[in-house]
Chain A
Amino acid sequence: MHSKNQIQEMHAALRWEMNLAKVSVEKVGSLRNIHSSSTLLKNEPFATDYGEKSEHKGEGDKSLVTHDDLFERVAQESRTKATFSRVLDVFVRQDIRRRGHVEFIYAALKKMPEFGVERDLAVYNKVLDIFPKEVFVPRNFIQRMFNHYPRQQECGVQVLEQMENYGLTPNVETKVLLVQIFGEKSHPMRKFQRLMYWFPRFKDMNPFPIPHQLPQDPLDLARFSLSRIANDLDAKVTVHQMPFTDISETGEEVSQPYVVGIQSPDQCHLLAKHNTSRPLFVEGPFALWLRQTCVHYYVLRADPLPPEEKVKEPVDPERCFFYPLELDLDLELDRDLGDDDSFNVDEVEEGPVFAMCMAGQGDQATLAKWISGLQETNPILGRTATVFRLESGPRELQSTAEPEPDLQPHHHL
Chain B
Amino acid sequence: MALTPLKQLATLHRGALLTLLPPHGPLVCGSRINFLGEYRRPGQPRDNTPPWKKIRFNFAKGVEAIQQDLTSLKDEVFGRFVGPQGRTLKEHLLEQTFVQWEFRGPESLSNWIVSSDREIGGRSEAYLKLGRNNSTCLLYGTLCSIPPRDGETSYSGYCTVRSKQPLKSFGRKKHYDWSNFNTVHLRVRGDGRPWMINIGTEMYFSHHKNDMYNFFLYTRGGPYWQDVKIPFSKFFLSSQGRIQDNQHPIQVDKVNTIGFTLGDQADGPFQLEIDFIALCNDRAHTEEFAYELYKRNPEV
Residue of B nearest to A201 (CB): B291
Output the least CB separation between B151 and chain A (Å): 15
Residues of A contacting B97 with CB < 8 Å? 340-344
How far is A313 from B280 in the complex, measured between Cα atoms in Å? 29
Q: Assess whether A338 is in contact with B218, with CB atoms less than 8 Å apart.
A: no
Stretch from B12-20, B186-194, B203-211, B252-260 forming part of the interface with A: B186-194
Residues of B contacting A394 with CB < 8 Å? 269
B138, CB-defined interface residue at 8 Å: yes
Output the least CB separation between B241 and chain A (Å): 12
B contacts with A, residue count (CB < 8 A)? 50
Residues of A contacting B221 with CB < 8 Å? 225, 228-229, 288-289
Residues of A contacting B59 with CB < 8 Å? none
A369, CB-defined interface residue at 8 Å: no
Return the contact of A286 from the options B95, B191, B225, B291 (Cβ within 8 A).
B191
Return the contact of B266 from the options A225, A289, A346, A350 (Cβ within 8 A).
A289
Residue of B nearest to A291 (CB): B266
Residues of B contacting A291 with CB < 8 Å? 264, 266
Q: Assess whether B216 is in contact with A205, with CB atoms less than 8 Å apart.
A: yes
Output the least CB separation between B242 and chain A (Å): 9
B138-173 to A contact mask, C-beta < 8 Å, 1/0: 101000000000000000000000000000000000
Output the least CB separation between B175 and chain A (Å): 22
Q: Assess whether B189 is in contact with A397, with CB atoms less than 8 Å apart.
A: yes
A405, CB-defined interface residue at 8 Å: no
B245, CB-defined interface residue at 8 Å: yes
Output the least CB separation between A280 and chain B (Å): 14
Q: Assess whether B133 is in contact with A401, with CB atoms less than 8 Å apart.
A: yes
Output the least CB separation between B295 and chain A (Å): 12
Q: Assess whether B268 is in contact with A350, with CB atoms less than 8 Å apart.
A: no
Given A201-B291, A289-B268: A345 in contact with B138 (beta carbons within 8 A): no
Return the contact of A343 from the options B90, B264, B265, B278 (Cβ within 8 A).
B278
Given A350-B133, A401-B133: A343 in contact with B266 (beta carbons within 8 A): no
Given A289-B270, A348-B275, A398-B132: A228 in contact with B220 (beta carbons within 8 A): yes
Q: Assess whether A345 is in contact with B266, with CB atoms less than 8 Å apart.
A: no
A353, CB-defined interface residue at 8 Å: yes
Residue of A nearest to B190 (CB): A289
Residues of B contacting A349 with CB < 8 Å? 133, 135
Q: Assess whether B91 is in contact with A230, with CB atoms less than 8 Å apart.
A: no
Output the least CB separation between A110 and chain B (Å): 11
* Residues in B80-98 with C-beta less than 8 Å from chain A: 90-91, 94-97
Output the least CB separation between A287 and chain B (Å): 5
A89, CB-defined interface residue at 8 Å: no
Given A198-B243, A356-B223: A399 in contact with B140 (beta carbons within 8 A): no
Q: Assess whether B224 is in contact with A400, with CB atoms less than 8 Å apart.
A: no
Q: Assess whether A205 is in contact with B132, with CB atoms less than 8 Å apart.
A: no
Q: Assess whether B135 is in contact with A348, with CB atoms less than 8 Å apart.
A: yes
A371, CB-defined interface residue at 8 Å: no
Q: Assess whether A400 is in contact with B222, with CB atoms less than 8 Å apart.
A: no
Q: Assess whether B95 is in contact with A345, with CB atoms less than 8 Å apart.
A: no
* Residues in B89-111 with C-beta less than 8 Å from chain A: 90-91, 94-97, 99, 102, 104
Residues of B contacting A197 with CB < 8 Å? 294
Return the contact of A398 from the options B94, B133, B191, B297 (Cβ within 8 A).
B133
Q: Assess whether B280 is in contact with A341, with CB atoms less than 8 Å apart.
A: yes
Q: Assess whether B191 is in contact with A288, with CB atoms less than 8 Å apart.
A: yes
Residues of B contacting A288 with CB < 8 Å? 191-192, 221-222
Residue of B nearest to A158 (CB): B154
Q: Assess whether B94 is in contact with A336, with CB atoms less than 8 Å apart.
A: yes
B185, CB-defined interface residue at 8 Å: yes
How far is A356 from B220 in the complex, measured between Cα atoms in Å? 15
Output the least CB separation between A274 and chain B (Å): 16
Q: Assess whether B135 is in contact with A346, with CB atoms less than 8 Å apart.
A: yes
Output the least CB separation between B289 and chain A (Å): 13
Residues of B contacting A202 with CB < 8 Å? 216
Q: Assess whether B268 is in contact with A230, with CB atoms less than 8 Å apart.
A: no
Residues of A contacting B268 with CB < 8 Å? 287, 289, 294
B125, CB-defined interface residue at 8 Å: no
Residues of A contacting B219 with CB < 8 Å? 208
Residues of A contacting B202 with CB < 8 Å? none
Q: List 13 A-B contacts (CB under 8 A).
A: A205-B218, A208-B192, A225-B221, A229-B223, A288-B192, A289-B268, A289-B270, A337-B94, A339-B96, A345-B275, A350-B133, A396-B271, A397-B189
Q: Could you list 16 further interchain pairs (A-B, Cβ under 8 angstroms) beyond the known A201-B291, A231-B220, A353-B224? A: A202-B216, A206-B194, A208-B219, A228-B222, A229-B221, A286-B191, A286-B223, A287-B269, A289-B270, A299-B223, A341-B280, A343-B185, A344-B99, A349-B135, A396-B138, A396-B271
